[in-house]
Structure 1
Amino acid sequence: MFFGSRKGSEHNSGQDKVISMDRFRDGSSLSPIRQAEAYWTALRQGEDVPKRSQIDPRGLENILSQTFILERIAPGIARFRLAGQKLNEMAGMEVRGMPLTAFFTPTARKQVSAALEHMFDAPAVVELSLQTEATRNRPSQEARMLLMPLRSDLGDVSRALGVFVSEGNSMKTSQRFNVTATELRPVTPLLKPKMSPASKSPNEVNAGFAETQAKFSDEPSVMDEARALVEASRQSMDEARKSLSEIGKPTEKTKPSRSSHLRLVVSRD
């Protein structure tokens, strides 16, 4: 808490208001349901459903009191393996080991069982809108519940991460909810990130304002180099054979040159 000065003080005039900083520390501005769903999605890493062993309480530190883990024990039935203090307060007792349907009225339990079966079999994310029945001493109360499937150590989808959001149980008595709305979202594989323009091949045509990069020529393969060597060797052998065949051939006859003779010159003088 930040406290301002008293009225009439000459120092820090105009700062006589009290400002609570708790709402900025506990992260209450971020919905626990959206926070848990973002954490669950981050654990997927391209897989359809994350594993139960990947859940780290430190990643849900701000909403641990509203978080729980379910285990599928029979068709349409799942029990609490772990549960935060918020759920114990709403139930008025320790809920560990109890079935999830214990939170709901008899008319709503069939809807919850069908939603559980769809979540484990599809798999899918289930979001429930809840409301308590109004009584003479207690008005109707709204709540929301998010269920996200998890894989066990054996690889089957038989666990679930859940979050429960409610205004609180001021009466400290057992609360039973009706289901007013059910939303089922199938779990689809995460899309691979698109290739950024910087990571495109330099041979692709650039559609932006930058100059188009020069294309690289095709690099010769090992087979191409081997064929070139064989062709060069064949040509050298042909040239050698041709030169050997020309050695044995007679050369063109040249005209015989006349040999020089001595001429005797007699002078009678």
Structure 2
Amino acid sequence: MLGKGGNDHGSDHGIVSMTEREKRRRLAPLRQVEAYWHGLSAENRVPLRSQIDPRGMEDALEYALLMERIAPTMAKVRVAGSHLNDLMGMQIAGMPLSSLIAPSDRDRFGQAVQHLFDDPAIVRLRLTAEGGFGKPDMEADMVLLPLRSDFGDLSRGLGALISHGRIGRTPRRFLITGIEVLPVTGQGAAEPAPVGTDAAKPAPAFREEGAPFRHRHPAAMETKSCASRRGHLRLVVDNDN
């Protein structure tokens, strides 16, 4: 647009890029997860897994995940939001985190995972989806954040992934277009959570369920009315230590 006098001096003043605004809006859930992690990092310490409360990032839960390190360059998904399940077309809890990554880029991804736990570091990734029939163009952003187990070892992680574009046919896997590794400085040693405290019990939305206890004593074959009176009792096993 030209100003008075036919020149364009100052024509950009007050103009806001809608592209940047839209990008910030899209990435808001990712930023919420990262901001929540930073809020728990009091005194520059890597937070404990048991400190994670989904209520602190409830607007981002469908994009969030919890993971556990299972090898130097590998992590397993323990809990995943619905968006990640939608991308793969299946429940991904229990699967390697690298299942979301195209095979050709899994070595690079493994190196990033190693930095996440060994440095420790915050890892941010820019991703683009593999193409194919019924698989439209799609980009994504991921953030991975280190956590300590209740014993203090760096073997857990919090993360989030948000994609931009129509999912189409699943599973969708991603190529890495950019990696940013930011070492966490002055992390210090975290104290193990005291056994029996509320801090050692993850909130229900992020609880990692084990197999339910099934008592096979013959007395279990009692009448239906007796069984219904005891139906509210259930033992939940949490193996996240």
TM-score after normalising by structure 2: 0.64
Residue identity opposite 2:155 in structure 1: S
Q: Contact 1:89 / 1:169 at 8 angstroms: preserved in 2?
A: no
The DSSP-based 3-state class of the residue aligned with 1:107 is helix
Which residue of structure 2 aligns with residue 65 of structure 1?
62
Deviations along 1:186-240, whole A, 9 cap, x unmatched? 10238xxxxxxxxxxxxxxxxxxxxxxxxxxxxxxxxxxxxxxxxxxxxxxxxxx
Taking structure 1 as reference, are residues 41 and 77 closer, same or farther at Cα in structure 2, changes over 3 Å only? same
The DSSP-based 3-state class of the residue aligned with 1:97 is coil
Deviations along 1:104-134, whole A, 9 cap, x unmatched? 1111100110000011000000001000122
Q: Contact 1:90 / 1:168 at 8 angstroms: preserved in 2?
A: no
Which residue of structure 2 aligns with residue 143 of structure 1?
140
Give the CA deviation at 1:173: 1.3
CA distance in 2, matches of 1:121, 1:145: 19
CA distance in 1, matches of 2:26, 2:97: 28
Give the CA deviation at 1:136: 4.4
Give the CA deviation at 1:48: 2.4
CA distance in 2, matches of 1:39, 1:130: 23
1:35 to 8, 12, 32: 32
CA distance in 1, matches of 2:128, 2:155: 27
Which residue of structure 2 aligns with residue 182 of structure 1?
179
Residue identity (%): 46
1:163 to 160, 164, 168: 160
Q: Contact 1:51 / 1:152 at 8 angstroms: preserved in 2?
A: yes
Q: Contact 1:151 / 1:159 at 8 angstroms: preserved in 2?
A: yes
Is 1:110 the counterpart of 2:96? The answer is no
Taking structure 1 as reference, are residues 56 and 116 closer, same or farther at Cα in structure 2, changes over 3 Å only? same
Residue identity opposite 2:171 in structure 1: S
Please list every run of 5 or more consecutive structure 2 residues that lacks an aligned counterpart in the other structure: 1-23, 188-241
Q: Contact 1:152 / 1:158 at 8 angstroms: preserved in 2?
A: yes
Alpha-carbon RMSD? 1.8
The DSSP-based 3-state class of the residue aligned with 2:134 is coil
Which residue of structure 2 aligns with residue 132 of structure 1?
129
Is 1:49 the counterpart of 2:46? The answer is yes
Q: Contact 2:122 / 2:143 at 8 angstroms: preserved in 1?
A: yes
CA distance in 2, matches of 1:30, 1:111: 23
Moved more, 131-140 or 50-59: 131-140
Residue identity opposite 1:100 in structure 2: L
Q: How many residues align?
A: 164
Give the CA deviation at 1:30: 6.5
Deviations along 1:14-60, whole A, 9 cap, x unmatched? xxxxxxxxxxxxx9577112111111001011132011111001001
Q: Contact 1:67 / 1:84 at 8 angstroms: preserved in 2?
A: yes
CA distance in 2, matches of 1:134, 1:167: 14
CA distance in 2, matches of 1:29, 1:147: 18
Which residue of structure 2 aligns with residue 220 of structure 1?
none
The DSSP-based 3-state class of the residue aligned with 1:127 is strand
Give the CA deviation at 1:137: 3.4
The DSSP-based 3-state class of the residue aligned with 2:44 is coil
Residue identity opposite 1:124 in structure 2: A
Please list every run of 5 or more consecutive structure 1 residues that lacks an aligned counterpart in the other structure: 1-26, 191-269
Residue identity opposite 2:153 in structure 1: D
The DSSP-based 3-state class of the residue aligned with 1:108 is helix
Moved more, 30-39 or 104-113: 30-39
Give the CA deviation at 1:135: 2.5
CA distance in 1, matches of 2:182, 2:27: 21
TM-score after normalising by structure 1: 0.58
Matches within 5 A, 1:235-246: none
- Please identify the structure whose Cα radius of gyration is greater: 1
